[in-house]
A = this chain, B = another copy of it.
Amino acid sequence: MTTFIRKLEAAWRANDSLLCVGLDPDLKRFPAHLAGRPRAIAEFCRAIVDATADLVCAFKPQIAYFHAERAEDQLEEVITYIHDRYPAIPVILDAKRGDIGSTAEQYAREAFERYNAEAVTVSPFLGHDSISPYTVYKERGVIILCRTSNPGGSDMQFLDVEGPGGRERLYQRIARTVASQWNGNGNCALVVGATFPNELAEVRRIVGDLPLLVPGIGAQGGDIAATVAAGRDRTGAGLIINSGRAILYASGGTDFAAAARAAAVETRDAINAHR
């Protein structure tokens, strides 16, 4: 099996894209003609996938949007659909798990065996033994929260902590710890929000060419030019830039898939203009 990192690198090249489409299916924002259909979530996501698969380096379904609707089976269907139709595109399950070892093993089974995602997002808050149950799946990716895109991200992640070379911010400590200690299997990446380009640049400085998943452009207000300038690696890649709502809900009508494609083209091109 190709590893997540290799598959990601191939998708960056093949589609000439750093764009990741976030699959956050919110029934309240669905086109009216899908309302009430029994498998509306899967139908909606499959249409978005078909409309954008040649424009992206990854798809990122957010698990809570499916689980809140009792739609686990539709999440399975969407991931299987991507694997069957677009096998070159890795699937990142956005789940932000964080639990002690024996339970983390169950979450890893859920992400990698039940849903068969190529990668999963996890929290570093419980430390090394909460991460290793994921990294032992050597061919899968483990994308660790470092500096999140929301305002409250600063509450913990921006605290000053005592570091080996003096004082540093908690997010810097996390970046350093992942790059130097937790990445023994070479399958880690980090989440750094686009809303904080200075810190994105600092994480890039710390971690070398580790891939960075960057949410926060589009609806959350992150700037594309600043994100690419701050986060790209030495090859002009290294980024998985997520856009969800701005693409999924570009139109609320029957043309939602075409509108999503247009928004994805525009976003991909805006990213590439700054690489």
| Interface positions of A (Cβ within 8 A of B) | 24, 62, 64-65, 67-68, 70, 72, 94, 96-104, 106-107, 109-110, 113-114, 123-131, 145, 148-157, 159-162, 170, 173-174, 177
Partner of A114, one of B68, B157, B159, B177: B68
Interchain CA distance A61-B117 in the complex, whole Å: 25
Partner of A159, one of B24, B97, B155, B161: B161
* Copies of the chain in the assembly: 2
Partner of A24, one of B101, B103, B174: B103
A153 adjacent to B127 (CB under 8 Å): yes
Closest 10 CB pairs of A and B: A127-B152, A127-B155, A64-B106, A129-B152, A100-B150, A68-B106, A68-B109, A125-B125, A159-B161, A128-B152
Chain B residues with CB under 8 A of A148: 100, 125-127
With A72-B72, A159-B161 already in contact, the answer to whether A123 and B150 are too (CB < 8 A) is no
Chain B residues with CB under 8 A of A150: 100-101, 126-127, 129-130
Interchain CA distance A177-B145 in the complex, whole Å: 21
